[in-house]
């Protein structure tokens, strides 16, 4: 039996624009997906998914084609999650030269599904690592990241960026621009607070919406470019540990994301709750449309304000996780 | 006794960016300020201000230096309003060659103060017209607009745009770019709905905030430029009577205004309420920070949704007013 875990992440800057070659900065957080893999005697796969979110719902699922899902989350999310697991197992089998290896998998996660915290990347990365090790192969980080990206790319119809899978694999903060991924080594410990509305956006639809706006309007393309400029300035603010400027830039980044149509009522309500509680800045994270915001606040103010905000289901402090994928006990 | 009235207005596109030479499109609405002027035998001024908003507060004020204000609105707003009246009377006296003419004035308004509907421009324009006529001079529209602009420019420390005073003078929809003001003649009757949060932003502070962002960050200057591009596209959509596109562009414009820091929690809540009630688009109007939003909706949906939105004090349908300043009674 082999167990691996990998962290979720949030975007400090640059989601959506990264699809068009702009840089983005992501940051692994101390909420993890954990995958347990055990070799079977036959060639079958069985996947048991547990706690695929923070609170409120649990999924029990067995991978057999005719098994019933016992689910109280939107079925498309669960199907997507299972698609990621299947793709990850395929990558591990290929890497281990064992295309017919049967496996039992248990997937557990502290990361809300489809909510902008890269739950899928964390599940894929942990699955590839655990399954490959169970099949006798220790994959280097860059291969895990690359194989994980291929899975996301396949499931998401070619819309994925490398940010999620790279960040989940190597941990810490990362900078991604096109296919170039690097770790940012001197990242400060930022006082991150996450607000979660209990929902999830439709990444494919949101990405397609931005694409359509960009094709229709030059100023939408300029707005995507402005996000890239915010990111570049944000990198400098991170290097200088200037948290006040990081906050201002997060605010600006959120406004530009609103302009390209990927915010939502509850995301904006959470962003304002954090700001009015004197957070240094706040923005949505990930594809948007619902899910999570991230705020910068050293005091308990933003978290408290979020907990009293209608539409906010959970608020928690998120620590930077400097560990990427790792073997567990 | 002479009575004039002049309309308030809202920005369809381009507030804030107009300060930096980008075009803006404003639209006079059927909420008016009404000013009654009567010549006195002495050289004194007396101003009585009534109902300087929609609901909720009333001002009684006599212009004598030692008179008490009986006020339940923020005093700075009332002082600002009185400053506008004083400046407007001075312009009328100058135009009439009667620098020492004493006047009694009654100012009434259906336009919320400082809330993005150009209450001050409407009061100035109606005051100049009524006072000049009471002093025997019929001023042409362009002179009223120009003198009214000088008053706003003086009171607002040189931050004013010509949009408000020009639009209030000539009525209908207007396009302003720098000092060039023109009326847009073939404007469709747009299904405008206004939501009002009962508050008011500090225009000077908001304009200064945008200026500071613009000086600090190139991408903020680009964002202001993108607003100009939205306006140009909006002009085309207006000319083509394409209300769906007008709505999309209003949404985009609002996001860019959020990015430059002039939205607020209640403005965003109202914008989302209107959008989720299937308005074609919604944005803040005016300086922001609080006050009003404008939505585009042919159905009663947005107005109803706004009335049930916490933080929205009033919601009303606003008709395009094709009349500018005019003699009453």
Q: What's the ipTM?
A: 0.90
Confidence at residue A83, expressed as pLDDT on a 0 to 100 scale: 84
Give the pLDDT confidence score for residue A60 in this predicted structure. Answer: 44
Higher pLDDT, A122 or B69: A122
State the fold for domain A2-185.
Ribosomal Protein S5; domain 2 (3.30.230)
In chain B, which residue's Cα lies nearest the Cα of A249?
B259
Chain B CB contacts of A212 under 8 Å are none
**Could you tell me the two tokens for A23?**
């840089």
Give the tens place of pLDDT for each residue, A133-183. 999 999 999 999 999 999 998 887 667 789 999 999 999 999 999 999 999
Tell me how far the alpha carbon of residue A78 is from its chain's centroid.
16
pLDDT tens-digit readout, B185-244: 888 899 999 999 999 999 889 999 999 999 999 999 999 999 999 999 999 999 999 999
Structure tokens, B212? 């500071």
pLDDT of residue A77: 60
Start and end residues for every CATH 3.30.230.10 domain found in chain B: 2-185
Determine whether A323 is an active site residue.
Answer: no
Cβ–Cβ gap A218/B229 under 8 Å: yes
**Quick one: pLDDT at residue A51?**
60
At the fourth CATH level, the homologous superfamily of domain B192-318 is: GHMP kinase, C-terminal domain (3.30.70.890)
How far apart CA A280 and CA A153 sit, in angstroms, is 34
Collect the ranges in chain B with pLDDT lower than 50: 53-66, 68-72
Give the pLDDT mean for A67-76. Answer: 52
Pairing of strands A180-184, A173-177: antiparallel
Contacts of A61 (CB under 8 A, 6+ apart): A47, A48, A49, A67, A69, A70, A71, A78, A82
Q: Which two tokens stand for residue A30?
A: 């101390």
Structure tokens given for A126: 């942990």
CB atoms under 10 Å from CB of B66, counted, come to 5
Mutate to test the interface with A, among B13, B223, B248, B271 (most CBs of A within 10 A): B223
**Residue range(s) occupied by CATH 3.30.70.890 in chain B:** 192-318
> What is the rounded distance in angstroms from the CA atom of residue A140 to the CA atom of residue A169?
10
Quick: pLDDT tens for A299-329: 999 999 999 999 999 999 999 999 999 999 8
At residue A149, the 3 state secondary structure works out as helix
Closest CA of chain B from A25, distance in Å: 17
**CB–CB contact B226 A230 (8 Å):** no
pLDDT tens per residue across span A282-291? 999 999 999 9
* Residue A243 confidence (pLDDT): 96
The interface residues of chain B toward chain A in range 259-288, judged by CB-CB distance below 8 A, are: 259-261, 263-265, 268-269, 272-273, 275-276
């Amino acid at each position: 039996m082999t167990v691996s875990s990998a962290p979720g992440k949030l975007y400090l800057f640059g989601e959506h624009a990264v699809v068009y070659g702009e840089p983005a900065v992501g940051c692994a957080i101390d909420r993890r997906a954990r995958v347990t893999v055990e070799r079977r005697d036959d060639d079958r796969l069985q996947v048991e998914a547990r706690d695929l979110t923070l609170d409120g719902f649990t999924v029990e699922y067995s991978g057999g084609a005719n098994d019933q899902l016992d689910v109280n989350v939107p079925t498309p999310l669960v199907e997507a999650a299972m698609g990621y697991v299947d793709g990850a197992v395929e990558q591990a089998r290929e890497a281990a030269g064992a295309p017919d290896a049967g496996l039992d998998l248990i997937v557990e996660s502290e990361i809300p599904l489809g909510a902008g915290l890269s739950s899928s990347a964390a599940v894929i990365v942990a699955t590839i690592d655990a399954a490959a090790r169970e099949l006798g192969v220790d994959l280097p980080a860059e291969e895990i990241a690359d194989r994980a990206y291929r899975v996301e790319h396949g499931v998401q119809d070619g819309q994925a960026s490398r940010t999620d899978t790279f960040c989940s694999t190597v941990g810490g903060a990362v900078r991604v621009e096109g296919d170039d991924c690097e770790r940012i080594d001197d990242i400060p410990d930022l006082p991150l607070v996450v607000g979660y509305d209990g929902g999830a956006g439709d990444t494919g639809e949101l990405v397609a919406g931005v694409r359509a706006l960009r094709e229709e309007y030059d100023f939408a393309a300029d707005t995507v470019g402005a996000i890239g400029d915010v990111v570049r300035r944000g990198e400098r603010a991170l290097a200088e540990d200037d948290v006040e400027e990081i906050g201002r830039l997060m605010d600006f980044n959120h406004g530009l994301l609103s302009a390209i149509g990927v915010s939502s009522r509850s995301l904006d309500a959470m962003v304002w709750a954090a700001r009015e509680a004197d957070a240094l800045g706040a923005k949505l994270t990930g594809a948007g449309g619902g899910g999570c915001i991230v705020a910068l606040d050293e005091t308990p103010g933003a978290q408290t304000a979020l907990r009293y905000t209608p539409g906010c289901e959970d608020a928690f402090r998120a620590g930077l996780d400097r560990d990427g994928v790792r073997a567990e006990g």
